[in-house]
Chain A
Amino acid sequence: MPDTLPALSIPKAAGIGLRSPHIAEMLTRRPSAGWLEVHAENYMGDSAAVTALEDLRQTYPLSVHGVGLSIGSAAGLDRDHLERLRRVCERFQPDLVSEHLAWSVADGAYLNDLLPLRYDEAALAIVSRNVEVMQDTLKRQVLIENLSAYVAFADSTMTEAEFLAALAKRSGCGLLLDVNNVYVSAHNIGFDAAEFIDTLPATKIGEIHLAGHAVNELGDDTVLIDDHGSRVPPAVWSLYAGAITKLGPRPTLIEWDTDVPALDVLLGEAMWADMLSASIGFHRRINEPAVEPARRTPIIIPFDRKAAPVRLPALAAFDTVRPARMPKQYEIRSYRHAVA
């Protein structure tokens, strides 16, 4: 194990989620990827993947994304698991660390799924305390991610976005905006996706997640399932475009967890995110000269839009980026984010 790892900071550009089928190719090819994100729970042992990540960490800035700490558990944090997370951070020295606004442990069982909270003052006190314990243990600020949900609790007294804003204020945490989760929850629960993003404190958003979802018909009920198993769909791209038009560029992750495709497909999605961000940065610069543009220069490749409209849904997002239009207008024109 190397004694010291270079301090590599995550750029305001696109990165990819490192998944086990790609590790060997990443090691040999070292493709140009802005940064990598791993699930903390997969690197708590001493497998070959752990050694590989130590190696990759020499080259790529790293984000550690926890999926099992269950910061929404009323019973408090699992201190053993928090200690394991601390050791992962010590070992890999990530630039960003994040978790979810969710719970997955209750009644002595780990459910391996992320469940929503009842958003009220009592829950806010519990989650704030858990996040404070987490930040004190890791000695750093963490980012907390919004959830994709299939149900909500009837007795909630605030929205998830209001809860996140209050949590950031009370605990000092940052936020991870998962645009796909916003889209999925907005559809499933019935709220306005753009309004959700507007409610979050812009300066607190330190990272964005992008992914695909599945559409599931349950009788007359259409549910979007957050399966991270496909390309980022057009509606999510356009919501992302709206978000970075407002926020400016942010570290943006392409997540893909089921039916993981070839590494190049992931890198291709990351490239689209960079191009979209650069394109928006360009227009922002014309309108507001003071704003810092996206760092990366887009590579322009000739492409026949009509030939493959479905295979590269990112292209649809470019249609939505027009300097003369405000985000709200094109969102209404092209896509519906919420089905009430």
Chain B
Amino acid sequence: MLSLERLQNTVARNVLGKPHFGLSPLLAAGRADPYRRLRIYQNNTRASLTTTLMAVFPVTVRLVDERFFRYAASEFIRRNPPSEPRLVRYGVDFPAFLRTFEGLEEMPFVAETARLEWAIAEALDAASLPSIGLAALDGDDAAATPELVLQPSLRFVISHWPVMSIWSAHQAGGDLDKISSWTRKAERIALWRNGDNVRFALLSSAQFSFRHSLGFGLGLETAAARALTHEPMFDLVGALVSLFGDGLVTAIRIDPAQEK
């Protein structure tokens, strides 16, 4: 008799669509064919995970048509089943999978749009902390450079394709005709959770570099320096005002170790 662990591994592989024909004698289902009954688990697994992916990538579904999406999803599920029970974490590898999936190499904007949708899903599962105002920078500790702590839901997407425009056109009230000619055009996007929704900002390369550096904890000085390499006349004050205005700063830290 197979050990329980080997039995479970064998059944699991079967459920994920890698048939193992020695299973039937181990199963029972009253008068029904037990092997056919096992297919119910196969279908449940595939259908529920496909539903999960369709909920996370709704615009991608519309870009490639639902039937093709279901086909791509079932291939993805077979090759990359979830490794843990938190389904909100399932799909992180799906955009990369789509990039090389049959037929989609010619349509790179599909995988790029999926990448934006994954960033949205991540933001929606992250905390939205109370933000602080610009006045908090008014400290008297002039010796140290204040470090800004940003919203944990802040995500960045940079793409060679106008994914933000594609995504927006597929929202309620969006205009699909506007993007009838999908030409290659870079877009830099910051997005973050605001209550039940996600807010977006399309940024210039300098603004993107500034926020991105801050978001990765590189500090205000580095962020400003990097922005200036993109744009020698970079408006630092304007960038700070919009950063606070967007509610992205949650705390200010004066780190003495930064003083040199």
Contact = CB atoms under 8 A, between A and B. Distances in A.
Contacts of A115: 8, 11, 15, 41
A154 B26 contact: yes
Contact of B85 (A51, A104, A190): A104
B85 A68 contact: yes
Contacts of A110: 81-85
A106 B12 contact: yes
Interface in A216-235: 218-219, 221, 223, 225
Contact of B40 (A117, A152, A225): A225
Nearest to A154: B28
Interface in A80-120: 80-81, 84, 103-113, 115, 117-118
A48 interface: yes
**Size class of the B contact interface (CB-based, 8 Å):** 35 or more
A48 B124 contact: yes
Given A48-B128, A48-B195, A110-B82, A150 B26 contact: no
A270 B137 CA distance: 54
A84 B26 CA distance: 35
Contacts of A106: 5, 8-9, 11-12
B198 to A, nearest CB: 11
Given A45-B125, A155-B26, A150 B86 contact: no
Interface stretch (B42-50, B95-103, B216-224, B232-240): B42-50
A254 B25 CA distance: 37
Contact of B127 (A46, A122, A154): A46
A152 B85 CA distance: 24
A286 interface: no
B139 to A, nearest CB: 28
A184 to B, nearest CB: 11
A267 interface: no
Contacts of A103: 8
Contacts of A105: 85
Contacts of B134: none
Interface string B1-20: 10111011101110110000
A153 B26 contact: yes
B4 A118 contact: yes
Given A107-B12, A109-B12, A188-B29, A74 B41 contact: no
Contacts of A122: 3-4
Interface string B140-169: 000000000000100000000000000000
B15 A151 contact: no
Of the candidates B36, B44, B49, the one having the most CB atoms from chain A within 10 angstroms of its own CB is B44
B107 interface: no
Nearest to B24: A154
B126 interface: yes
A51 B45 CA distance: 29
Contacts of B125: 45-47
Contacts of B40: 150, 223, 225
B32 interface: yes
Interface in A36-83: 41-42, 44-48, 51, 67-70, 73-75, 78, 80-81
Given A109-B83, A111-B41, A74 B29 contact: no
B87 interface: yes
Contact of B8 (A41, A74, A155): A74
Given A112-B48, A115-B41, 10 more contacts: A45-B86, A46-B128, A73-B8, A74-B4, A81-B85, A81-B86, A115-B15, A123-B4, A150-B29, A152-B27
20 contacts: A69-B85, A74-B7, A81-B85, A107-B9, A109-B83, A111-B15, A115-B41, A118-B4, A151-B28, A152-B27, A153-B28, A154-B25, A154-B27, A155-B1, A188-B30, A219-B36, A221-B37, A223-B37, A223-B40, A225-B40
